[in-house]
Amino acid sequence: MAHDIDPRLLRAFVAVADELHFTRAAARLYVAQQALSRDIRRLERELGTELFVRTTRQVALTGDGERLVPYAQAVLAAYDELGAAFADEARPLLVDLNSDGMITARVLVRARELAPHCELMARFESGLTGAAAKILAGGLDVSFGRFAGLEPAVRARLSAQPVRYEPMAVLVPEDHVLAGRAEVEVAALAGESVYAGAGNPGTREWTDLAERLFEGTGVRIAPPAPVAIGHEEFRRVMEKHRTPVLVGVDFPVMPGTVLRPLVRPVPLSPVSLVWRKGLKHPGVDALRAAAAELAEREGWLTTPPGSWLPREDLLQMRGTR
Residue pair 127/206 in contact by the 8 Å Cβ criterion: yes
Q: Return the SS3 of 37.
A: helix
Q: Considering the domain boundaries, does residue 121 fall inside one?
A: yes
User: Do 280 and 144 lie in a common domain?
Assistant: yes
Last residue of a domain, one of 62, 85, 108: 85
**CA nearest 213: which of 109, 281, 92, 313?**
313
What pLDDT, on the 0 to 100 scale, is given for residue 310?
96
Q: Which of 50-64, 97-111, 157-171 has the highest mean predicted lDDT (pLDDT)?
A: 157-171
pLDDT over 70 (residue 136): yes
The answer on pLDDT for 78 being more than 90 is no
Read off the CATH number of the domain in which 184 is found: 3.40.190.10
User: By residue range, what is the domain housing residue 210?
Assistant: 167-267
pLDDT-derived band at 126 (thresholds 50, 70, 90) equals confident
Characterize the bridge pairing of strands 142-145 and 158-173.
Answer: unpaired
Same structural domain, 260 and 238: yes
- Of 80-94, 169-183, 235-249, 280-294, which range is least confident? 80-94
User: 200-257 pLDDT, tens per residue?
Assistant: 889 999 999 999 999 999 999 998 876 666 666 666 666 676 789 999 999 887 778 8
Is 273 found in the same domain as 124? Answer: yes
Of 132 and 99, the one with more pLDDT: 132
Q: Is the preceding omega at residue 265 within 30 degrees of 0, hence cis?
A: yes
To the nearest whole number, what is the mean pLDDT of the chain? Answer: 90
Q: Select from 267, 284, 300 the last residue of a domain.
A: 267
CA gap 171, 261 in Å, rounded: 9
Task: Say if residue 131 is in the same domain as residue 66.
Answer: no
Q: Are 67 and 108 part of one and the same domain?
A: no
Rounded to whole angstroms, the Cα distance separating 244 from 92 reads 38
Question: What pLDDT is recorded for position 313?
Answer: 95
In terms of domains, do 45 and 57 share one?
yes
Residue 190 identity (one-letter amino acid): A
pLDDT of residue 90: 62
Residues in CB range of 175: below 8 A, 6 or more apart: none
Separation between Cα atoms, residue 185 and residue 201, nearest integer Å: 29
User: Does 171 lie in the same domain as 153?
Assistant: no
283-292: buried (b, 16+ CB within 10 Å) or exposed (e) per residue? bbebbbebbb
Q: What is the pLDDT of residue 321?
A: 42
User: What value does the mean pLDDT take over residues 94-107?
Assistant: 89
Q: What is the pLDDT of residues 275-321, one digit of tens each?
A: 999 898 999 999 999 999 999 999 999 998 889 999 999 999 998 54
**pLDDT for res 252:** 81
Q: List the CATH number of the domain containing 55.
A: 1.10.10.10
The count of structural domains within the chain is 3
2 inside domain = no
pLDDT at 83 over 80: no
Residue 160's pLDDT is what? 97
Domain membership flag for residue 276: yes
pLDDT value, residue 108: 96
Task: Say whether both 174 and 304 belong to one domain.
Answer: no
